[in-house]
Structure 1
């Protein structure tokens, strides 16, 4: 699993910005981007992929990475997610994809808004890419 690293905290006007790195994955260096960015109480998690033979395995892996990124940005994890966006390489696998999403969030008790669409992904082995937005609640 990729390890998210807190990279920097920068002051921009009235809001600070926290960047969470990609860890060992080279994508951040290739694209000059972050795994996640927190601005005030909102955490934006980049499109995330994971290894796995099935869509369900990849969905579970993606959400493990997303959970870790949110925690590294100061959130509680998947409980803070308010929106997910899933890109399916094969819309014929929609039932498996949505069932896996449901299982992940039923376990957290959270019910985020969700969008799914089909598209061509950047590597042949990738069955799904997931992006998330989280809002950290005051305790």
Structure 2
């Protein structure tokens, strides 16, 4: 039976969960004043966590993007489209929600395949 590996685990959540060749990341947010700044920073955090978990943006299977205001959709997509490697776009959903802090504009949750998973 495959075990569940939890990385950077606190009382409320783990930043990374690895199970059965899949990598689940908790929601990532970014810093900055604009949607572009926050999206760029958020995606850099995702890159770092995926690398730590043995995966990469080329292996993302699914992404959920939450925006505090759908008026930022085009601005977020401009950064997203440049970040996703050509031919590796994941299944993705995007919606508007009230995020945890007023200054947050975007939160992204991803699930990816572990690169060298051996069952």
TM-score by length of 1: 0.76
Q: Which residue number in structure 1 is paired with residue 3 of structure 2?
A: 16
Structure possessing the higher relative contact order (Cα contacts under 8 Å, 6 or more residues apart): 2
Structure 2 segments unaligned to the other structure (5+ residues): none
Structure 1 segments unaligned to the other structure (5+ residues): 1-13, 22-27
Instruction: List per-residue Cα deviations over 1:28-54 (Å, max 9, x = no partner).
Output: 64x521111010210011111110111
The counterpart of 1:89, out of the listed 68, 72, 95, is 68
Whether 1:115 and 2:93 are equivalent positions in the alignment is: yes
Q: How many residues align?
A: 117
Instruction: Tell me how far 1:131 sits from its aligned partner.
Output: 0.2
CA distance in 2: counterparts of 1:91 and 1:78, whole angstroms: 24
Whether 1:47 and 2:27 are equivalent positions in the alignment is: yes
TM-score by length of 2: 0.88
The counterpart of 1:133, out of the listed 96, 111, 117, is 111
Residues 59 and 100 in structure 1, CA contact (< 8 A), matched pair in contact too: yes
CA RMSD of aligned residues (A): 1.8
The counterpart of 2:17, out of the listed 27, 37, 44, is 37
